[in-house]
Amino acid sequence: MPEPRTAHTSDLTAAELAAIRALLDDSFEGRFTDDDWDHALCGIHATVWEDGVLLAHGSLVQRRLLHGGRALRTGYVEAVAVRDGRRREGLATAVMGALEGVLLRGAYELGALGASDEAAPLYTGRGWRQWRGPLAVLAPSGMRRIPEEAGSVYVLPVAAPGPDLDGELVCDWRPGDVW
């Protein structure tokens, strides 16, 4: 299997960015929005290429999450996708390994991501833990609870003791899906 390559958004060529966007559009079957694309940029991308074809992608961007009276510098995983026909070959695992390598180097206090039910086993199998407590967003209009996101957020503690998974977790505001 080809090794993942990591690069900051600013180090990717226009052709590489176009290939990433095309993969995401295909993988999410037209449900990947311009806001989703914006969320995946300005961070570290892990990509797997074979013979000039992009097989897999994921990105790690910085966000601020509020928990336990603190603003946590968080590495947030976005836009994990594998080319149709190449799934179940370990490509998503390789991408996550590369992103977790960046995450665990000490730049972040926490890793977090939002996952579909279908993707959750990938993350839990790697040690990510489902957030059990209430979720909220610090929106322009103030704090707003988001109960519909319950069960879809996962975290990877960077240092012990880790967060209280039953406590409230609040994300920073952004257009589109906040989690």
Q: What is the pLDDT of residues 122-168, one digit of tens each?
A: 999 999 999 999 999 999 999 999 999 999 999 999 988 899 999 99
* Residue 57: both structure tokens together: 């992608």
d(CA 81, CA 140) in angstroms, rounded, equals 31
In a domain, residue 177? The reply is no
pLDDT tens column, 79-135: 999 999 999 999 999 999 999 999 999 889 999 999 999 999 999 999 999 999 999
C-alpha count within 13 angstroms, C-beta hemisphere, residue 179: 24
Quick check: is 116 in a domain?
yes
The proportion of the chain whose per-residue pLDDT surpasses 70, expressed as a percent, equals 100
The whole domain housing 89 covers 5-172
DSSP string, 78-111: EEEEE-TT-TTSSHHHHHHHHHHHHHTTTT-SEE
Indicate whether 35 belongs to any domain: yes
φ, ψ dihedrals at 124, nearest 5°: -65, -35
Nearest alpha carbon to residue 170 among 144, 150, 152: 144
- Domain membership of residue 33 (yes or no) is yes
Q: The tokens of 138 are what?
A: 């610090």
CATH number reported for the structural domain that contains residue 32 in this entry: 3.40.630.30
Number of domains observed in the structure of the chain? 1
> Facing residues of 138 across strands?
143, 172
Residue 179 lies in a domain: no
What's the pLDDT at 162?
A: 92
Rounded to two decimals, the pTM is: 0.96
